Amino acid sequence: MTRSLGITIVCFLLGSSGWVGAQDWPQWRGPNRDNKLVGFNEPKTWPKELTKKWQITVGVGESSPVLVGDKVYVFGRQDGNEVLTCLDAASNKVIWRQAYPAAFQARGDQAYPGPRSTPAVGEGKIVTLGVNGLLICRDVATGTEIWRTDKGFPQFHTSTSPIIADGQCIVLAGVLTAFNLSDGKPAWTTPSVKAGYGSPVFATIDGVKQIVTPCADAVVGADAKTGKVLWDVKIGTAWQNNYSTPVVDGDMVYYSITPAGKFGKGGGTVATGFIALKVTKKGDKFTTEQKWKADPAGGYHTPVIADGRIYGVANAGKNFFCLDAASGKQLWTDKANHGFAGSIINAGTVLLSVNADKDLIAFRPSAKSYEEVARYRVSTSEPWCVPIIAGNRVYVKDKAGSLTLWAID
C-alpha cells in the first residue's frame, strides 16, 4: 500500500565473491518513486529455480524494505511494538534494532495492525511513520533517535510514505508538512492538503519543482519550497480514491481511482478509473486537463510506465493490463488472477512483478500481448510490499512478517 531522489549505483563483487551493480532503493518505489530499476542485467537463461539465501522474521506490516549500500532496513510490528531493523544485506546479521510500544486499535482495518508506511533514507537519516502517525527520525548508522513528532492518523491509520530531500522530510502527517531533518521543526505546512493514504512524489513541471500527492479529497501539486498549492483536481472523499501513488511522466500525471460505486462516496470532478492529467503553466498559474479516462482502475496497486505504455494490476480481475499512455487505449490484458495487491518493477528488458499470488514473475514490456518469461514461488503468504531487486538478489517481505533473500543464479 500503502507507499529520495537520485540514483546511486553501488558496485559489489558478484557470484562467489559477493555482489555487482546493485542499486540503492532508499524509499517507497525506489530512488525516484517510479519503480524503475537501473542496472538490472537480465540472465541469458533464466534458472529453473531461485536460490534461497536466508530468511529472517522482521515483523508484520505492509511497509516495504529499503536498501542503501550494504544494509537493508525493514519496519514491522512484533509483540505490540513497532520495530525498525538494520540488517547486513548479504548475511542478514542484525546491525541495530530499535523498538517502541505501539498499541493498535482497529477501525475496520483489523487485518493490518503493522506499519504500512515505507521508511525513507537520505542525508544520513532514516525516517519512519508508524501506523498511529508517529514520525521518527533516526541516525541511519546507529539507529539513535534524533527527533519525533506525533501527528495522528486518518480513519484507517497511516500508509503514506515520507520523502527526504534538501534537508527536509516531506510527509502527509495530518496535513502536508515539510519537517527540518536536523530538528523536526516544520519548515512549512499546507493545512488544506489533509492526509489520505497514498504517497507523494516529486515532479518538475515547467521548471517548478512540485510535490504531487493525493490527499483526503483531491490530487494536488504543491510548490516543493513553500507547500503552496499550485493546482488540484477533486477526486472525492472515499478512502479508495486516495490510496494510490501518482505516476508522473513529464507534464503528465496518471492516477488510479477505484470506482466509487463499488466502495464508497464519490463527489470528485473527474470520473473514477485510471485518469491522465496534463499539467500546464499559463503565466504564473498552473491548470490541468483530463486527457483520458480508462478502466480498469489499479486497486491496491500503483502502475508503472515503460516505453510509453502503462502496466498494472486491475482492481476487478486482478490481472495484468497494458494501456497506451498517450490515449488510454487498453492494448491487452492477461487472464490470470494475480491477487489483490502487489507491485510491478520496470527493469528494462523485462517487467518484474511480485503480487499477492506469491510469485515473482518476469514478463516482457510489449504492446501486443502478455508474454511471460519466468515465474518463481517466493513466499508462502501474500507479499504486499515492493520487493528490492539489486544485482541478482531479490528481497521479498511477506504479510506473515518474514524477509527473504533470493538469488537469481
Highest mean pLDDT among 112-116, 225-229, 290-294, 313-317: 225-229
Among candidates 331, 321, 390, 277, which has minimal Cα distance to 20? 390
The answer, yes or no, to whether the previous bond of 296 is cis (omega within 30 of 0) is yes
- Cβ atoms within 10 Å, residue 191: 10
Q: What is the pLDDT of residue 259?
A: 55
Residues 6+ apart with CB under 8 A from 329: 294, 323
Asked if residue 5 has pLDDT above 90, the reply is: no
Distance from chain centroid for Cα 163: 11
Among candidates 128, 111, 62, which has minimal Cα distance to 401? 62
- At CA 210, angle to CA 28 and CA 275, rounded to 5? 70
- Give the residue ranges of DSSP H helices in 183-265: 260-263
Q: Please indicate, yes or no, if residue 3 is contained in any of the structural domains.
A: no
Mean pLDDT, range 167-175, rounded to an integer: 95
Q: Please indicate, yes or no, if residue 2 is contained in any of the structural domains.
A: no
Q: Please indicate, yes or no, if residue 378 is contained in any of the structural domains.
A: yes
Q: What is the pLDDT of residue 11?
A: 31
Mean pLDDT, range 89-93, rounded to an integer: 97
Mean pLDDT, range 324-347, rounded to an integer: 91
Domain count, the chain: 1
Asked if residue 10 has pLDDT above 60, the reply is: no
Q: Please indicate, yes or no, if residue 248 is contained in any of the structural domains.
A: yes
At 55-90, the pLDDT tens digits run 999 999 999 999 999 999 999 999 999 999 999 999
Asked if residue 4 has pLDDT above 60, the reply is: no
At 177-236, the pLDDT tens digits run 999 999 999 999 999 999 989 999 999 999 999 999 999 889 999 999 999 999 999 988
Q: Please indicate, yes or no, if residue 1 is contained in any of the structural domains.
A: no
First-to-last C-alpha distance (Å) of the chain? 30
Min mean pLDDT across 70-84, 260-274, 357-371 is at 260-274
More confident residue, 319 or 20: 319
CA gap 148, 276 in Å, rounded: 37
Among candidates 113, 108, 52, which has minimal Cα distance to 80? 113
Q: What is the pLDDT of residue 315?
A: 74
Residues 6+ apart with CB under 8 A from 217: 194, 196, 234, 235, 236, 237, 241, 242, 267, 268
The DSSP line for 305-364 is: EETTEEEEE-TTT--EEEEETTT--EEEE------SBEEEEE-SSSEEEEETTSEEEEE-
Asked if residue 262 has pLDDT above 50, the reply is: no
Three-state DSSP state, 241: helix
Q: Please indicate, yes or no, if residue 363 is contained in any of the structural domains.
A: yes
Q: What is the mean pLDDT of the chain?
A: 89
Q: What is the pLDDT of residue 240?
A: 67
DSSP annotation of 267 reads: B
Assign residue 106 the CATH number of its domain: 2.130.10.10
Q: Please indicate, yes or no, if residue 229 is contained in any of the structural domains.
A: yes
Q: Please indicate, yes or no, if residue 384 is contained in any of the structural domains.
A: yes
Identify the domain containing residue 351 by its residue range: 9-407
Asked if residue 251 has pLDDT above 80, the reply is: yes
Confidence class of residue 157 from pLDDT cuts 50, 70 and 90?
Answer: confident
Q: What is the pLDDT of residue 339?
A: 82
Confidence class of residue 299 from pLDDT cuts 50, 70 and 90?
Answer: low
CA gap 327, 293 in Å, rounded: 9
Torsion angle defined by CA atoms of residues 37, 297, 247 and 77, in that order, rounded to the nearest 10 degrees = -70
| 32's grid cell | 525516484
Asked if residue 298 has pLDDT above 80, the reply is: no
Whole-prediction pTM? 0.91
Asked if residue 342 has pLDDT above 90, the reply is: no
